[in-house]
Amino acid sequence: MNHSCQPNCETQKWTVNGDTRVGLFAIDDIPANSELTFNYNLQCVGPDKKPCMCGAPNCSGYIGSKATK
C-alpha cells in the first residue's frame, strides 16, 4: 500500500463489536497485479513537507497537500 494523489482505494473507519477497525475498499476496478494505493490524507505540520512521488497527473507535489483537479 502506497500513497497516491489519484488512488484506486479508500479507507473507511468502522466500529465492530465496540472495536474500531479500518477497512480498505476499491473505488475503481483494479487490474490484476496492480499496486493498491490510497490517499494518506496526512496533515502537513511544520516547515518540512514530505515530497510526493506518486506520479499521478493531479499530484500535489507533497503528501498532505490537496491534489489538483
The pLDDT value recorded for residue 67 is 73
What is the rounded average pLDDT for all residues in the chain?
A: 89
**pTM attached to this predicted model:** 0.77
Confidence of residue 9 (pLDDT cuts 50, 70, 90): very high
Characterize 39-64 residue by residue with b for buried, 16 or more Cβ atoms within 10 angstroms of its Cβ, and e for exposed.
Answer: bbeeeeeeeeeeebebebeebbeebb
The pLDDT value recorded for residue 42 is 75
